[in-house]
């Protein structure tokens, strides 16, 4: 226990006043020597002892009232935590922890959550005692440190801004504890400014942060909740693209969810693409009604994009409380037609490859210069004699129902794949005899051995993809379960004996057997489909040779195109990132640049170095959402690359956390939660001063004075009654 104003305890000396008055006003007894009045004298002595007891009781009450009043004015307090707080004017080591995620841009009463936190933070810094140490920490990763003085700390708070690269509140608290543990000041305080959302407290980091807090016993912890208790917002979910690199004339398909937080309603979503001058051009508009807490899926189809880098965005029309989740950015590369080599079995290899080449490069599109591929057809027997540099000029090599190849041909294809090329093999009836097809040279490239043909003459077998995480299957992911795979039966396929490493099944049949296999070979990849995708019309007319409906649009068109795009490297393009990730831009073939000028979404420009050995430009930990562009070579630039950055989904989630999350974070360490400045001021008094006893003492003083008044009135009334009663006439000593 202690006192805020110890000097006022001197007022307890006034307790001597009632004692002095009591002694001064005490009546002196008179001597009575008349023997006949001994009985009356005995009664008088009894009354006097009773009156003396009453006077002592009144004296005790009056002294107690004065002592308690003086003690109350001195403002006594008791400790409220595991350690004594001490003098409220003693300097403290304080760490102010601010959540600077994009959620803090939520606007309420014309003020963002971060602006409210800054306002309270600057006020709190002014409340710190002189000579205090103050550190201002935000959600950005990095080592913390104390500011030079309190004025510098206030400037640091005023300069806070939201960031796309953030850590959770537990990690920041852990850093604050580590910093405070190095301070020599006895009193330590932690202030956490948070919107108290679920995303701010990752469950995986709560345990380590709790151990850190418990390692700093006696620290005063204050949680300042600046979040909206009932947020109302519309948001866009993550953007889904069917591809990040497209062949010419292939439309871009964008999928996105419109979500409602709080009350639902109707909103309009628009898609834009930047033109050559950088201005946004509207390409699509859709409206949807979303229920409270629900979501509505939308899809935009952007076609007619010419070759080059294209950047755009999908946004909610109008404004709401949180603008950070109203827009999603995207970048896509459109490539000109790429060369694909089709190897087909002799002697009629060109006729046998017609259906495959038409699926990749339709005649009408090829004549209009809009075909995504340029196909060259050769006999599989010529592959062994093809020069490596000629083979490497093709973006992909497809083997159409090949017969057993010669060892040099398999070796040439293996070298092509090992160097980064893509090979697709559509296995059909020509894979005979098996012993020759399963040669040692072939097994260096194939995913395994062909074992036997499996037949399903009733047509109850079909391709059944069950996972869409692989880049090749991304377009099917956007379509969901709308593709009628069951309508395209497979009557015959090859069974594999998987013998190689790095082999995975991308698409199974409906019976669970592998349909499309992938094998990683060096820097390249090999895809093998267990059934052919193109046969001659004569083959289809003979029932005993029918393998599938390869002439139908599916799978010979959609699936074959996606296989060719994947093998030609289109699926490798990665030009859309989340904030905090490292961006890597691939240099196009023939580009010879040492540096490039990178333009950020804020309009800042700086030089970045190109890595000629890895043929890329790396930008570490991109922070801000928006569009980035890298150029070199001036006008008519020899290099024009770009990428887009979006916030991680959790950075804008507004769902409130349960109160138990703070107990999980701080464990047994006491903490105080406040929302308003009055609550903060009161909690500060409790934390630095302790629990004051003045209200209790004031009540006790009032109670004692009341009891004293009642007793005094009663005692003096009894005394007055005694005085008014007839008293025996005093007898003078020596009378007759």
**Considering only CA atoms, which of 369, 482, 352, 365 is closest in space to residue 430?**
352
Classify residue 474: in a domain, yes or no.
yes
Q: What does the alpha-carbon distance between residue 690 and residue 474 come to, in Å, rounded to a whole number?
A: 61
Mean pLDDT in the chain?
A: 83
pLDDT at residue 571 tops 80: no
Domain count, the chain: 5
Residues 478 and 366 reside in one and the same domain:
yes
Strand partners of residue 378: 343
| 319 and 362 both lie in a single domain | no
pLDDT at 708: 72
Looking at beta carbons, which pairs linking 204-212 to residues 24 or more positions away fall under 8 Å? 205/168, 205/170, 205/171, 205/174, 206/170, 206/661, 206/664, 206/665, 208/170, 208/174, 209/170, 209/171, 209/173, 209/174, 209/665, 210/170, 210/664, 210/665, 210/666, 210/667, 212/173, 212/174, 212/177, 212/178
102's CB contacts (< 8 A; 6+ apart) are 162, 164, 322, 324, 325, 647, 651, 652
Do 269 and 236 meet the contact criterion of CB atoms below 8 Å apart? yes
pLDDT band for position 384 (50/70/90)?
confident
pLDDT bin (cut points 50, 70, 90) of residue 238 is very high
Q: Give the Cα separation of 246 and 565 in Å (integer).
A: 8
pLDDT at 75: 60
Q: Predicted confidence band at 245 (pLDDT cuts at 50, 70, 90)?
A: confident
Instruction: Report the pLDDT value the prediction gives residue 81, as an integer from 0 to 100.
Output: 44
Length of the chain (residues): 736
Enumerate the H helices of 542-650 as residue ranges.
553-556, 558-567
Reading the block at residue 419, the tokens are 């160097």
480 phi-psi bin (left φ>0, alpha ψ -120 to 50, beta other): left
User: How high is the pLDDT of residue 681?
Assistant: 73
pLDDT tens digits for range 137-172: 999 988 999 999 999 999 999 999 999 889 999 999
Does some domain include residue 299? yes
Q: Is residue 733 part of a domain?
A: no
Conformation bin of residue 660: beta by default, left when phi > 0, alpha when psi is -120 to 50: alpha
Per-residue model confidence as pLDDT tens digits over 295-341: 999 999 999 898 899 999 999 999 899 999 999 999 999 988 889 99
Instruction: Report, as an integer, the average pLDDT of 384-408.
Output: 91
Examine the domain organization and report whether 119 and 68 are in the same domain. Answer: no
CATH number of 433's domain: 3.40.50.880
CATH number for the domain harbouring residue 593 = 2.60.40.10
Residue 85 lies in a domain: no
The reported pLDDT for the residue numbered 734 is: 43
* pLDDT score of 370: 77
| Residue in 559, 381, 340 with CA at minimum distance from that of residue 470 | 559
The angle formed by the CA atoms of residues 388, 389 and 393, to the nearest 5 degrees, is 115
Looking at 292-301, 542-551, 604-613, 697-706, which range is the least confident one?
Answer: 542-551
Confidence of residue 546 (pLDDT cuts 50, 70, 90): confident
CA atoms of 92 and 184, how far apart (whole Å) = 10
Tokens read off for 250: 């292939």
Residue 58 has pLDDT above 60, yes or no: yes
Specify the CATH number for the domain of residue 175: 3.40.50.410
* 3-state DSSP percent of the chain in helix, strand and coil, to 5: 35, 30, 40
Cα dist from 491 to 399, 401, 453, 547, 559, whole Å = 21, 16, 10, 5, 18
464 and 561 in a common domain: yes
CA distance 528 to 581: 33
- The pLDDT, as a whole number, for residue 404 is 93
CA angle 337/401/552 to nearest 5° reads 70
Whole-Å CA distances, 238 to 217, 258, 328: 43, 10, 7
Dihedral of alpha carbons 339, 343, 348, 351, sign: negative
**pLDDT tens digits for 494-506?**
999 987 788 999 9
What DSSP character marks residue 571?
G
Tokens describing residue 693: 């006893």
- pLDDT score recorded for residue 558: 79
Tokens describing residue 692: 């004051």
Average pLDDT rounded to a whole number, residues 118-125: 94
Check whether 518 has a pLDDT greater than 70: yes
What confidence tier does 587 reach under pLDDT thresholds 50, 70, 90?
A: confident
Q: Are residues 241 and 213 in the same domain?
A: no
**Residues 45 and 182 reside in one and the same domain:** no
Residue 34 and residue 109 share a domain: no
Residue 142 phi/psi, 5-degree rounding, is 150, 160
Least confident span in 34-48, 238-252, 292-306, 543-557 = 34-48
Residue 651 lies in a domain: no
pLDDT at 735: 40
**The predicted structure's pLDDT at residue 636:** 45
Are 246 and 322 found together in one domain?
yes
Kindly report the pTM of this predicted structure.
0.68
Confidence (pLDDT) at 542: 60
What integer is the mean pLDDT of 454-475?
86
CB 378 within 8 Å of CB 341: yes
Mean pLDDT computed over 360-372: 82
Whether 447 contacts 498, CB under 8 Å:
yes
Task: Decide if 345 is inside a domain.
Answer: yes
**pLDDT of amino acid 699:** 79
Same domain, 248 and 215: no
- Residue 82 pLDDT exceeds 90: no
Q: Check residue 41 and give its pLDDT.
A: 56
Interatomic CA distance for residues 32 and 41, integer angstroms: 8
Place of tokens 């040779």: 545
Strands 327-335 and 245-247, bridge-based pairing:
parallel
* Predicted pLDDT at 486: 83
Using CA atoms, how far residue 414 sits from 221, 382, 481, 519, in Å, is: 64, 15, 36, 12
Domain end among 335, 350, 369: 335
Q: Strands, DSSP E only, in 603-669?
A: 605-611, 616-619, 626-632, 639-646
In a domain, 353, yes or no: yes
Strands 92-98 and 187-194: parallel
Coil, strand, or helix at residue 354? helix
Task: Give yes or no for residue 442 having a pLDDT over 50.
Answer: yes
Residue 173 lies in a domain: yes
Q: Could you tell me if 26 and 70 lie in one domain?
A: yes
Query: In the listed set 550, 571, 592, which residue is the last one of a domain according to the structure?
Result: 571
Q: C-alpha distances in angstroms, 351 versus 246, 362, 538, 557, 671?
A: 29, 15, 11, 18, 80
- Domain boundary pick from 522, 540, 571: 571
The answer, yes or no, to whether residue 412 has pLDDT greater than 50, is yes
- Three-class secondary structure assignment of 414-457: HHHHHCCCEEEEECCCCCCCHHHHCCHHHHCCCCEEEEEEEECC
Q: Is 50 exceeded by the pLDDT of residue 651?
A: yes
What is the structure's pLDDT at 87?
42
For residues 383 and 314, state if they share a domain: no
Residue 475: pLDDT band (50, 70, 90) is confident
- Predicted confidence (pLDDT) at residue 663 exceeds the cutoff of 80: yes
Q: E strand or H helix at 171, and its extent?
A: helix 169-180
Classified as helix, coil or strand, 590 is coil
Write down the pLDDT at residue 83.
36
Lowest mean pLDDT among 180-184, 413-417, 731-735: 731-735
What is the torsion angle, in degrees rounded to the nearest 10, for the CA atoms of residue 341, residue 342, residue 344 and residue 347? Answer: -60
Which tokens go with 15? Answer: 């307790």
Number of Cβ within 10 Å of residue 549's Cβ equals 19
Domain interval for residue 176: 94-231+661-689
Q: Do 425 and 553 lie in a common domain? A: yes
């Amino acid at each position: 226990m202690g006192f805020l104003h110890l000097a006022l305890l001197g007022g307890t000396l006034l307790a001597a006043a009632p004692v002095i008055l009591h002694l001064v006003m005490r009546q002196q007894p008179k001597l009575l020597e008349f023997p006949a009045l001994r009985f009356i004298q005995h009664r008088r002595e009894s009354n006097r002892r009773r009156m003396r007891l009453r006077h002592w009781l009144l004296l005790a009450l009056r002294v107690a009232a004065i002592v308690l009043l003086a003690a109350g004015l001195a403002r006594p307090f008791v400790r409220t935590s595991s350690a004594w707080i001490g003098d409220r004017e003693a300097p403290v080591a304080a760490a102010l922890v601010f959540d600077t995620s994009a959620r803090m841009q939520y606007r309420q009463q014309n003020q963002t959550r971060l602006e409210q936190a800054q306002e309270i933070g600057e006020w709190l810094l002014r409340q710190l005692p002189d000579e205090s140490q103050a550190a201002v920490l935000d959600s950005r990763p990095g080592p913390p440190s104390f500011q030079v003085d309190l004025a510098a700390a206030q400037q640091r708070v005023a300069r806070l801004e939201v960031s796309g690269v953030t850590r959770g509140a537990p990690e920041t608290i852990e850093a604050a504890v580590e910093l405070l543990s190095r301070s020599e000041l006895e009193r330590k305080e932690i202030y956490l400014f948070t919107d108290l959302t679920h995303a701010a407290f990752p469950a995986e980091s709560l345990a380590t942060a709790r151990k850190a807090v418990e390692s700093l016993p006696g620290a005063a912890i204050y949680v300042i909740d600046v979040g909206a208790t009932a947020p109302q917002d519309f948001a866009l979910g993550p953007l889904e693209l069917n591809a990040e690199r497209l062949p010419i004339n292939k439309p871009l398909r964008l999928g996105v969810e419109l979500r409602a937080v709080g009350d639902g309603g109707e909103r309009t979503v628009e898609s834009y693409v930047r033109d050559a001058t950088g201005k946004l051009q509207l390409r699509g508009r859709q409206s949807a009604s979303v229920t409270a807490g629900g979501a509505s899926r939308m899809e935009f189809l952007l076609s007619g994009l010419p070759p080059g880098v294209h950047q755009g965005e999908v946004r909610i029309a109008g404004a709401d409380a949180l603008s950070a989740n109203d827009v999603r950015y995207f970048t896509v590369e459109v490539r000109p037609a790429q060369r694909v080599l089709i190897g087909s079995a002799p002697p009629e290899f060109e006729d046998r490859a017609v259906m495959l080449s038409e699926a990749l490069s339709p005649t009408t599109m090829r004549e209009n210069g809009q075909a995504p591929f340029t196909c060259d057809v050769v006999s599989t027997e010529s592959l062994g004699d093809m020069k490596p540099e000629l083979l490497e000029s093709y973006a992909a090599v497809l083997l159409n129902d090949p017969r057993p190849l010669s060892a040099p041909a398999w070796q040439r294809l293996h070298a092509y794949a090992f160097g980064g090329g893509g090979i697709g093999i559509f296995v059909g009836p020509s894979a005979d005899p098996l012993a020759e097809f399963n040669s040692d040279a072939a097994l260096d490239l194939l995913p395994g051995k062909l074992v036997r043909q499996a037949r399903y003459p009733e047509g109850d077998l079909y391709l059944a993809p069950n996972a869409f995480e692989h880049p090749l299957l991304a377009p099917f992911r956007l379509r969901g379960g709308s593709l009628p795979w069951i309508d395209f039966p497979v009557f015959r396929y090859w069974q594999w004996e998987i013998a190689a490493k790095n082999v995975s099944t991308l698409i199974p049949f409906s019976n669970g057997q592998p349909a499309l296999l992938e094998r990683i070979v060096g820097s390249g990849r090999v895809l093998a489909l267990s059934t052919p995708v193109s046969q001659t019309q004569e083959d289809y007319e003979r029932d005993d040779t029918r393998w599938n409906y390869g002439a139908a649009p599916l799978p010979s068109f959609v699936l074959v195109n996606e296989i060719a795009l994947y093998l030609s490297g289109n699926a490798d393009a990665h030009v859309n990132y989340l904030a905090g990730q490292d961006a890597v831009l691939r240099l196009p073939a023939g580009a010879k640049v040492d540096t490039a000028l990178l333009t950020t979404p804020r309009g800042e420009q700086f030089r970045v170095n190109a890595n000629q050995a890895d043929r890329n430009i790396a930008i570490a930990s991109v922070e801000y959402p928006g569009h980035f562009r890298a150029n070199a070579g001036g006008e008519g630039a020899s290099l024009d690359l770009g990428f887009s950055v979006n916030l991680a989904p959790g950075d804008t989630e507004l769902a409130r956390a349960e109160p138990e999350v703070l107990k999980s974070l701080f464990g047994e360490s006491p903490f105080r939660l406040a929302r308003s400045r009055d609550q903060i001021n009161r909690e500060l008094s409790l934390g630095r001063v302790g629990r004051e006893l003045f209200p209790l003492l004031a009540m006790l003083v009032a109670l004692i004075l009341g009891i004293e008044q009642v007793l005094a009135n009663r005692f003096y009334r009894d005394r007055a009654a005694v005085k008014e009663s007839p008293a025996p006439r005093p007898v003078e000593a020596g009378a007759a």
